[in-house]
Amino acid sequence: MVTIDSANNPASHQAQKMAPAIIEVRGLVNRFGKHTIHDQLDLSVGQGEILGVVGGSGTGKSVLLRSIVGLQAPTAGSVQVFGQDLSLLSASQRSRYERRFGVLFQRGALFSSLTVLENVALPLIEYGGMTRAEAQHLAAIKLALSGLPPEAGAKTPAQLSGGMVKRAALARALALDPDILFLDEPTAGLDPIGASAFDRLIMTLRDALGLTVFLVTHDLDTLYAICDRIAVLSAKRVLVVADIATVAATDDPWIQDYFQGPRGRAASKAALSLQKE
Ligand SMILES: Nc1ncnc2c1ncn2[C@@H]1O[C@H](COP(=O)(O)OP(=O)(O)OP(=O)(O)O)[C@@H](O)[C@H]1O
Ligand SMILES: [Mg+2]
């Protein structure tokens, strides 16, 4: 069992094994009124890795994601992405970097009145400077890349299944050819087969496009199947960040309940049997 030495921030152990950091969060504090969500949180994400971010509901996973992409101004601390603290840049400089993020939000956030194709084309028109025709042409390619059939483009989000909506949101996140993909609970609400297909898609995209993936998830199968490292949010900071075997063996009540409970053991067993195939 791995024990946590709180005097020695475990987040710092990651540096030796990791590719050069593309995201560096240092001393992050986020507070809403008197409610402190993050307190001196540190986290680095290596270029090209799939980092899984887990933690109990309300531990601040989505707030952390929003802080990194610049939608949530931190109370204190710094966030560097691509070696830059984006909050120090002018709006136009900042948007050049922000274009390199693709975000799939926890609540989907597709425009319900637009077709799927129009949803994906929108960022290409607004930020990519394309004409409508060019944007729709490229949007159709992104939909195919995300595993949607061509006819899905003409439908509105309400006409699609939950899994297809996730794929459409992924296509929109990929519209501007991002370097970093942020996914907030992408497989929530999908059946296990749909979820594992989505996992494979994320892995394929990372391998084919060299993306870095910041993946917030509760899905243990996803953690075992595709994540290079797992960061556990607890007690307002990153309690541990390491490979899954190290995390699962960490001496912490929440981690033990989560990874060694029936679902955690089943996911671990399934991952082991897949490796043997
Ligand atoms: N804009 C905001 N104003 C006030 N409180 C907020 C705001 N955004 C988030 N919070 C609070 O911050 C805490 C962390 O929220 P967050 O959405 O990051 O949790 P989470 O870890 O993503 O949870 P879940 O697993 O349920 O998605 C919650 O208590 C939430 O109510
Ligand atoms: Mg959340």
Neighbour-count burial for 194-224, b at 16+ CB within 10 Å, e otherwise: bbbebbebbeebbeeeebbbbbbbbbbbbbb
Over range 63-68, report the average pLDDT.
97
pLDDT at 12: 43
User: pLDDT (tens digit, 9 = 90+) per residue, 201-223?
Assistant: 999 999 999 999 999 999 998 99
Distances in Å between the Cα of 1 and the Cα atoms of 156, 211, 224, 245 are 50, 33, 19, 10
Residue nearest to atom 27 of ligand 1 (CA): 57
Residue nearest to atom 29 of ligand 1 (CA): 58
The verdict on the CB of residue 30 being under 6 Å from ligand 1 is no
* Distance of alpha carbon 57 from alpha carbon 265, whole angstroms: 21
State yes or no: pLDDT of 6 exceeds 50. Answer: no
CA 106–ligand 2 middle distance (angstroms): 6
- Compute, in angstroms, the gap from residue 8 CA to the centroid of ligand 2: 28
Q: Identify which of 242, 182, 171 has the alpha carbon closest to the alpha carbon of residue 212.
A: 182
Confidence category of residue 4, pLDDT binned at 50, 70, 90: low
The amino acid sitting at 99 is R
Q: CA quadruple 162, 193, 49, 211: dihedral positive or negative?
A: negative
Residue 53 has pLDDT above 50, yes or no: yes
Helix (H, G, I), strand (E, B) or coil at 191: coil
Q: What is the pLDDT of residue 10?
A: 45
Is 60 exceeded by the pLDDT of residue 96?
Answer: yes
Ligand 2 centroid–CA 138 distance in Å is 30
Write phi, then psi, for 85 (nearest 5 degrees). -85, 105
The whole model's pTM is what? 0.90
